[in-house]
Amino acid sequence: MNDYERIAGVIRYLDESHTDQPDLTTLARHVGLSQHHFHRLFTSWAGITPKDFLQCLTLAHARELLYQGKSVLDAALDTGLSSPNRRAR
């Protein structure tokens, strides 16, 4: 598996499981790399850190839920955040 395939696979994984709020360890393990190497590789290919990418997905999902009429609490919980105070920035 080359670097492009690794990062593309992680992006697909994040798209499918962003509500689980996977951490760096989980993502690195998903592609069989150390956390440090994965973080550098992802940032190099995606242009942003894995955490920032996850926050973008979380924010987009929360906005969609709010536009659908969900409450802030429900949107926060449905996006995988533990409370409305942990909103994506």
Q: pLDDT tens for the chain, 89 residues: list them.
A: 899 999 999 999 999 998 899 999 999 999 999 999 999 999 999 999 999 999 999 989 989 999 999 988 888 888 887 655 544 44
The full DSSP string for 42-58 is HHHHHSS-HHHHHHHHH
Alpha-carbon distance 52 to 2, whole Å? 23
The total number of structural domains in the chain stands at 1
Instruction: Return the CATH number at 40.
Output: 1.10.10.60
Q: Whole-angstrom Cα distance, residue 67 to residue 65?
A: 5
- Domain extent for 74: 3-86
Q: Tell me what pLDDT residue 82 has.
A: 67
Sequence-distant (6+) residues with CB within 8 A of 66 are: 72, 75
Query: Residues 21, 54: contact at Cβ < 8 Å?
Result: yes
